[in-house]
Amino acid sequence: MLKDCLSTFSTRFQDGDKPLKNSNFYSSFFQAAQVDPTRPCLHLTQDGLWTYSRLLDRIQRTAAVLRQLDIDRGQRLLVQVDKTPENLVLYLACLQVGAVYVPINTAYTADEVAYFLQDAQPELFVHRPEDSERLASVCSQVTTLTLDAGGGHGTLTYAVDAAAPDDLICHREDDDLAAIVYTSGTTGRSKGAMLTHANLSTNAVSLRDYWGWQADDVLLHALPLFHVHGLFIALHCALLSASEIYFLDRFDPGKVLQAMPACSVMMGVPTFYTRLLDHPGLTRSVTDHIRVFISGSAPLTEQTFTAWEERTGHRILERYGMSETIINTSNPLQGERMPGTVGFPLPGVEVRIADEAGEVLASGEVGGIEVRGPNVFKGYWRMPEKTLEEFRSDGFFITGDLGTIDEHGRVSIVGRAKDLVISGGYNVYPKEVEKLIDEIPGVSESAVIGLPHADFGEAVVAVVVPTGDPLSLQTIRDGLKEKLASFKQPKWVINVDVLPRNTMGKVQKNELRQIYNDLFSGQ
Ligand code: AMP
Measured by CA distance, the residue closest to atom 4 of ligand 1 is: 322
Pocket of ligand 1 (CB under 6 A): 183, 228, 296-299, 318, 320-323, 342, 399, 401, 413, 416, 420, 422, 427
pLDDT of residue 361: 97
Q: Which atom of ligand 1 is nearest to the CA of 427?
A: 3
The mean pLDDT of 298-322, rounded to a whole number, is: 93
Angle among Cα 33, 101, 125 to the nearest 5 degrees reads: 125
Q: Dump pLDDT digits (tens) for 123-143.
A: 999 999 999 999 999 998 899
Angle among Cα 125, 129, 134 to the nearest 5 degrees reads: 80
Same domain, 383 and 447: no
Q: What percent of the chain has pLDDT over 90?
A: 80
* pLDDT(13) > 90: no
The answer to whether residue 141 is domain-embedded is: yes
Q: Dump pLDDT digits (tens) for 456-514.
A: 999 999 999 999 999 999 999 999 999 999 999 999 999 999 998 765 455 788 889 99
pLDDT of residue 119: 97
The answer to whether residue 178 is domain-embedded is: no
Say how many Å lie between the CA of residue 296 and the centre of ligand 1.
7
* pLDDT(20) > 80: no
* pLDDT(1) > 50: no
Domain of 469: which CATH number? 3.30.300.30
Say how many Å lie between the CA of residue 432 and the centre of ligand 1.
19
The mean pLDDT of 149-161, rounded to a whole number, is: 81
Measured by CA distance, the residue closest to atom 9 of ligand 1 is: 322
pLDDT of residue 2: 37
Q: Which of 297, 371, 416 to mutate to test the pocket of ligand 1 (most atoms within 8 A of CB)?
A: 297
Same domain, 486 and 411: no
Same domain, 262 and 310: yes
The answer to whether residue 503 is domain-embedded is: yes
If one counts the domains in the chain, the total is: 3
Domain of 255: which CATH number? 3.40.50.12780
More confident residue, 190 or 466: 466
Same domain, 103 and 61: yes
Pick the last residue of a domain from 130, 146, 172: 172
Q: DSSP secondary structure string, 325-390?
A: TEEEEE--SSS---TT--BEEPTT-EEEEE-TT-PBPPTT--EEEEEESTTS--EETT-HHHHHHH
Amino acid identity for residue 276 in this structure:
L
Same domain, 305 and 407: yes
The mean pLDDT of 231-259, rounded to a whole number, is: 97
Pick the last residue of a domain from 388, 416, 444: 416
The answer to whether residue 312 is domain-embedded is: yes
Q: Which of 422, 426, 428, 456 to mutate to test the pocket of ligand 1 (most atoms within 8 A of CB)?
A: 422
The answer to whether residue 198 is domain-embedded is: no
Say how many Å lie between the CA of residue 143 and the centre of ligand 1.
34
Angle among Cα 237, 269, 455 to the nearest 5 degrees reads: 165
Say how many Å lie between the CA of residue 38 and the centre of ligand 1.
37
The answer to whether residue 194 is domain-embedded is: no
Beta partners for 427? 422
Q: Which atom of ligand 1 is nearest to the CA of 319?
A: 19
Beta partners for 294? 267, 317
The answer to whether residue 70 is domain-embedded is: yes
Q: Provide the domain limits for residue 369.
A: 206-331+340-416
* pLDDT(419) > 80: no
Q: Which of 195, 271, 320 to mutate to test the pocket of ligand 1 (most atoms within 8 A of CB)?
A: 320
| pLDDT-based confidence at residue 5 (cuts at 50, 70, 90) | very low
Q: Dump pLDDT digits (tens) for 52-100.
A: 999 999 999 999 999 999 998 999 999 999 999 999 999 999 999 999 9
Say how many Å lie between the CA of residue 401 and the centre of ligand 1.
8
Same domain, 291 and 411: yes
Same domain, 156 and 261: no
Same domain, 317 and 430: no
Mean pLDDT of the chain: 91
Say how many Å lie between the CA of residue 47 and the centre of ligand 1.
33
Same domain, 254 and 304: yes
Q: Dump pLDDT digits (tens) for 346-369.
A: 999 999 999 989 999 999 998 899
* pLDDT(153) > 80: no
The mean pLDDT of 147-156, rounded to a whole number, is: 78
Q: Dump pLDDT digits (tens) for 161-186.
A: 999 999 999 999 999 999 999 986 44
> In angstroms, rounded to a whole number, what is the distance separating the alpha carbons of residues 165 and 58?
8
Say how many Å lie between the CA of residue 409 and the centre of ligand 1.
19
pLDDT of residue 313: 98
- Which of these, 315, 357, 307, lies nearest to 338 by C-alpha position? 315
Same domain, 161 and 77: yes
Same domain, 163 and 213: no
The answer to whether residue 520 is domain-embedded is: no
> In angstroms, rounded to a whole number, what is the distance separating the alpha carbons of residues 342 and 330?
6
* pLDDT(16) > 60: no
Domain of 57: which CATH number? 3.40.50.980
> In angstroms, rounded to a whole number, what is the distance separating the alpha carbons of residues 316 and 325?
22
Pick the last residue of a domain from 172, 197, 222: 172
Same domain, 410 and 446: no
